[in-house]
Amino acid sequence: MFRSRLPLSTAIWLAIGVAAPGLALAASADQLPDIRHTVVSGDTLEGVAQRYLKDPQQWRAVGTLNGVKDPLRLRVGSVIVIPAHMVGYQEVTITHVKGVARMRSPQSGSDWQSAASGTILTEGDELQVPAGSYVSLRFADGSSVRINENSQLKLSELRKNSRTDEQQSVLDLSQGGLESHVTPVVDQRRKRKFEIKTPMATTSVRGTVFSVSVTDSGKAITAVDKGVVQVQGYTAKRQPAQQALVPAGSGVAVQASGQVGTPVALLEAPSLERNPAVFEDANFLTLQVGEVPGARQYAVLLALDADLSRVILRQSHASPSFRFEAVPDGTYYLSARALDAQDIPGKPAVQTIKVKATPIPPLYSSPAPDGLIGLSDGELLCTEGGSGIAGYRIQVSASRDFSQPLQDSGVVDNCQASVTGLGEGHYFWRAASVRRLADGSLDQGPFAQPQAFKTGSNPAALGADALNAAEPSAPNLLQLSWPAEPNQRFNLQLAKDESFASPLVSTQLDQPQWTSDPLVAGDYYVRIQVLDPSGLKSRYSDPRKLTVEPSVVTGAGTVLRTGEGKAVLSPR
């Protein structure tokens, strides 16, 4: 379950981390000091034994050690010493750690050391969980506590009656927050004590899921998902104040003065339907929660397991939109809550999400967004490369949702595709990278965001008979013209061979005519490409062979012509 506030003081809250390697052992029961119990009104020796001894039947031995004359009438204020070896301690296991959490065992005089998954803790041990870190604890009866970042926790009491399996657990939270999942007691005749103490309140339960937080103003917040909790307020001098029973689906605020408010219904769970089934952004993980009437804030967490015990990300703020740094591909569990005006977290919404963001898609190269390409020669081009990329997949669709792709390339070596099979119109295309995994299988990444493009018919290429070669006005020239439509332009190439491998002339013309510079007499080839105002272009026309004949030049430098106006050729 998820608790939605980042408490800055003491609280009970949710937070779980990713397991860290290593195993450490905290102080064992043999290392713990003797317990010194100060007698209060109503104490009996047998009752003290029930609280502390692993075998309460040994209360007589404790009485003998302490010189007790009347086990039913203990002197108020006197001290009963219980030897450590007689105390029934339970052990707590750190099941998950994310970040740099630390622990220490004051009883053994140890300094702070790194906490790791598998560490065994016992009574008196302390934990520090700094920002960005999360820790999960599991108790002997299966109960669990999830410690939030920026928290300090002490395991004040961890007792166990070995004969009856009755347990008592008291945790002191001096900073931060946590959430507890307490295993219900099957045999109601057995006692089960589970308490979370904060400066202003103590929360006691018997089988429940609940959270407590402390606001900046010192107000303690309790919210209950399952079961019933008793909240006891305390004054600044730690004197008992008001108390309240808080049932499932309710929460209560305790003021810094110890005044316990009236339990209220938790806000409804926010909707998570705006989130996609698969997140494909390689840079960010953006989560959306639906707005809830009466909400002052929203909070989300992301965990690696359905129990939300391995939390890796967590945020809370007024906006229902959340952005995290990207996480590795995989399946995650999202939980979200709304917080009311008293900062009481509401009911949780939980959603399973999938992240598949790698390999990242290629970048679009051509055409430009909403660009026009010709049906006869148009290509969709994207960038290639990237470590481990084995190929690409390109799809074309008439709709942005790609519900019915018109073209699907499958896995191809090059990041390009032809559009010759399409008609004129508006389309969308998208491309994905495909990598080869260690086992040889192919793994496709997400498609890039769809990009729009248009197709149109290419202008017709000039026919072989469309080119008109006029009589040159000067010696050794080519003068050409051809039919055209308004605003068309042209690419013209002149070469000595039909391959046009090394054109002598390559020029763009605004008019459908061209006059060459003086040429050496001989054979030449010319071809022309039509450029439409839309940006489309025709294929080059078939090469046209033209011959430049040597002309007789007059003294004035003009071409000598016959009476019919034809140039007089020089004898070869």
pLDDT of 525 higher than 70: yes
Q: Containing domain of residue 523, as a range? A: 468-548
Q: Mean pLDDT, to the nearest integer, of 336-361?
A: 96
Average pLDDT over residues 293-299: 96
Q: Over the chain, what is the mean pLDDT? A: 86
Burial class (CB in 10 A: 0-12, 13-18, 19+), 112: exposed
- Domain tally for the chain? 4
Q: What is the pLDDT at residue 256?
A: 83
Whole-number pLDDT of residue 191: 66
On whether both 344 and 388 belong to a single domain, the answer is no
- Which of 456, 485, 507 delimits the end of a domain? 456
What DSSP state is assigned to residue 46?
Answer: H
Residue 440 located in a structural domain: yes
Residue 33 CA to residue 444 CA, distance in Å, equals: 60
Model confidence at 2: pLDDT above 60: no
* Same domain (yes/no): 448, 474: no
Distance CA 301, CA 98 (A): 14
pLDDT-based confidence at residue 14 (cuts at 50, 70, 90): very low
Q: Does some domain include residue 253?
A: no
Confidence grade of residue 28 (pLDDT, cut at 50, 70, 90): very low
- Tens of pLDDT, residue by residue over 214-268, are 777 778 888 999 999 999 988 877 788 889 999 999 999 998 888 899 999 999 9
What CATH number did the domain enclosing 72 receive?
3.10.350.10
Residue 568 CA to residue 523 CA, distance in Å, equals 18
Cα separation, 248 vs 234, whole angstroms: 23
Q: Would you tell me the crossing angle of helices 45-52 and 59-66 to the nearest 10 degrees? A: 110
- Look at residue 257 in the predicted model and tell me its pLDDT: 85
**Chain segment 342-353, per-residue pLDDT in tens:** 999 999 999 999
User: Encoding tokens for residue 507?
Assistant: 């020029």
Structure tokens at 397: 């669709």
What span, in angstroms and rounded, lies between the C-alpha atoms of 24 and 94? 10
Residues 486 and 433 in one domain: no
Q: What is the pLDDT of residue 369?
A: 96
Same-domain status, 386 and 452: yes
Do residues 475 and 419 both lie within one domain?
Answer: no
Assess whether 533 and 477 both reside in one domain: yes
pLDDT band at 164 (very low <50, low <70, confident <90, very high): low
- 29 or 304, higher pLDDT: 304
pLDDT-wise least confident of 182-191, 236-245, 530-539: 182-191
Residue 409 pLDDT more than 50?
Answer: yes
End of a domain among 72, 88, 104? 88
Cα four-point dihedral sign 109, 115, 118, 121: positive
Residues 370 and 443 in one domain: yes
Separation CA 203–CA 183 (nearest Å): 16
Helices and strands counted in the chain (H then E): 2, 43
Least confident window among 6-20, 419-433, 483-497: 6-20
Q: In 364-443, which residue ranges form alpha helices assigned H by DSSP?
A: none
| 559 domain-assigned | no
Assigned domain for 209 exists: no
Percent over 90 (pLDDT), the chain? 59
Quick one: 345 and 376 in the same domain? no
171 pLDDT exceeds 90? yes
Q: Does 448 share its domain with 483?
A: no
Say whether pLDDT at 543 is over 90.
yes
pLDDT for the residue 108: 67
Write down the pLDDT at residue 58: 84
Q: Is the residue at 61 inside a domain?
A: yes
Helix (H, G, I), strand (E, B) or coil at 86: helix
Strands 278-279 and 349-355: what pairing? parallel
Banded pLDDT at 470 (limits 50, 70, 90)? confident
pTM of the predicted model, to two decimals?
Answer: 0.72
Q: Does 290 reside within a domain? A: yes
- For residue 441, is it within any domain? yes
Using CA atoms, how far apart are residues 110 and 142, in angstroms rounded to an integer? 28
Which residue is it, tokens 């702070």?
112
Alpha-carbon distance 526 to 500, whole Å?
A: 9
The amino acid sitting at 196 is I
Q: What's the average model confidence in pLDDT over 557-571?
A: 61
Does residue 480 sit in the same domain as residue 525?
yes
3-state helix, strand, coil in the chain (%, to 5): 5, 45, 50
pLDDT score of 13 more than 90: no
* Bridge partner residues of 121 (DSSP): 92
Please compute the mean of the pLDDT values over residues 106-126 and round it to a whole number. Answer: 87
The CATH number of residue 542's host domain is 2.60.40.10
pLDDT tens digits, 39-88: 999 999 998 888 888 778 888 888 998 999 899 989 999 999 988 778 77
Q: Are residue 385 and residue 332 in the same domain, yes or no?
A: no
pLDDT of residue 25: 35
Which secondary structure element, helix H or strand E, spans residue 47, and what is its range?
helix 45-52
pLDDT at 403 over 90: yes
Residue 147 counted as domain residue? no
Which of 88, 116, 133 is at the close of a domain?
A: 88
487 three-class SS: coil
Single-letter code of the amino acid located at 148 = N
